[in-house]
Amino acid sequence: MTATPPEAAPQGLQTADGRPLKAALAESQARAKRRAFYLVAPLLAFILLTFVLPIGQLLSRSVSDPRFIEHVDRSSGEVTPIMTGLRAWFDDNPAGTEPDEAAYAALAADLVLLADLRGQGDVGTRINYEAPGTRSLFTKTARRAEDLQAPFREAILDVDEDWADPMLWQAMRDASSRFTANFYLAALDLAKDETGKIVNVPQERQVYVMLFERTAILSVLITFLTLVLGFPVAHLLATLPLRYSNLLMILVLLPFWTSLLVRTTSWMVLLQSQGVINSTLVWLGVIGEDGRIQMIYNQLGTVIAMTHILLPFMVLPLYSVMRPIKPAYVRAARSLGATSWTAFRRIYLPQTVPGIGAGALLVFILAVGYYITPALVGGADGQLISNLIAFHMQNSLNWSLAAALASLLLAGVLILYWLYDRLVGIDNLKLG
């Protein structure tokens, strides 16, 4: 037997132009992946610009507010380091050290620079977040900074004795660092004392944890109510003939065609003391004229209005899961001796779990972030954490604290999402 010459050895499968088939397939797949990437690139860029980037900026603002150490010129955008002397003193002395003459001398020199840059307002606002009432302290002292003479401690205390407050110095120490966890501490009703130890804020100032708890409790209640009300509606839509279910589906979708503000103000008309519901109950004799029920500007009004507004978000996932369930399953169970309740509990209900989980997850996430409805019908007792976030963004302008509160809310939602994935499985999520 003679050996096959090397030039005659088989080369494997080839394309018509003589290229190896494996290499041609790999090139074709790579070309298809590039084409798919080009198609989704606009959507990816949109998500990055409108979702990922804002969240990243939000997280950065929650741990950083450099106005105490940097002054930004509003006209030119030039950044100038400030409070450098005081920052150097903080670096050389541990927390809890009583400020000496060197500390007050550094403060006096820094105030002179602040007055030249007209940055005492921004610095005072930054410290005011952690030591309320200090903005005017900075502006007043900066105006007289050039007249301060040694000994600087007595000179500054002559301007205002509040400069001796240990809490003020601890707040300036924390603000002298570019990154701080103080905004997260404030979001959890915590603070640092004059020695830097983390303690609870006074009882009369503890509001954020209470609002987080109220938001979670009301959101769970609203989710439960939408499930109780939406389950029979979805079941009816799934079991009716298609021509009737489509007609009823229009009624479910009708609220989406109406402005959220209009729906909320409609509930204000219905729920107020002289509103439609109370007047009807008085006319029917159920309650007296002096016994009108307060259903607005409290938690009851928030729950009623938000349950109505979020109900479609529970019905639609349930309907999408119930529609494919064959009625023959329940009939077979009943023919084998199961009662109606047993057939529902052991046959029908387990098949609707993905829809229940999806609807509950969707309604809860929407409820914890709702703002307009609690603001209009909730009053002081029905406000949620989102309303306080909006307050800090629009009124107090403490964006860092608002970012910290929003970040904690986002973390809670992500934990909920993780729990759903562990208990139900994200692959079983059915939204439509």
Residue pointed to by tokens 């972030």: 369
Question: How do residues 372-417 score in pLDDT, each as one tens digit?
Answer: 888 888 888 888 999 999 999 888 889 999 999 999 998 988 888 8
E-assigned strand segments in 69-169: 70-72, 79-81
DSSP output for 363-383? HHHHHHT--HHHHHHTTTTT-
Sequence spans of domains, the chain: 16-57, 67-173, 208-428
CATH topology for 208-428? MetI-like fold (1.10.3720)
Distance in angstroms (rounded) separating the CA atoms of residues 98 and 195: 10
Question: How many angstroms from the chain centroid is the CA of residue 157?
Answer: 43
Distance in angstroms (rounded) separating the CA atoms of residues 347 and 162: 71
Question: How do residues 330-372 score in pLDDT, each as one tens digit?
Answer: 888 888 888 888 888 888 888 888 889 889 989 999 999 888 8
The confidence band for 1, taking pLDDT boundaries of 50, 70 and 90, is very low
Question: How do residues 269-326 score in pLDDT, each as one tens digit?
Answer: 888 888 888 888 888 888 888 888 888 888 898 999 999 999 999 999 999 898 888 8
Q: Which tokens go with 155?
A: 């000179």
Question: How do residues 97-148 score in pLDDT, each as one tens digit?
Answer: 899 999 999 999 999 999 998 888 899 999 998 888 888 999 999 999 888 8
Peptide bond preceding 151: is omega within 30 degrees of 0, i.e. cis? Answer: yes
Whether residue 218 contacts residue 303, with contact meaning beta carbons closer than 8 Å, is answered with yes
Distance in angstroms (rounded) separating the CA atoms of residues 196 and 215: 31
Q: What is the pLDDT of residue 431?
A: 54
pTM here? 0.82
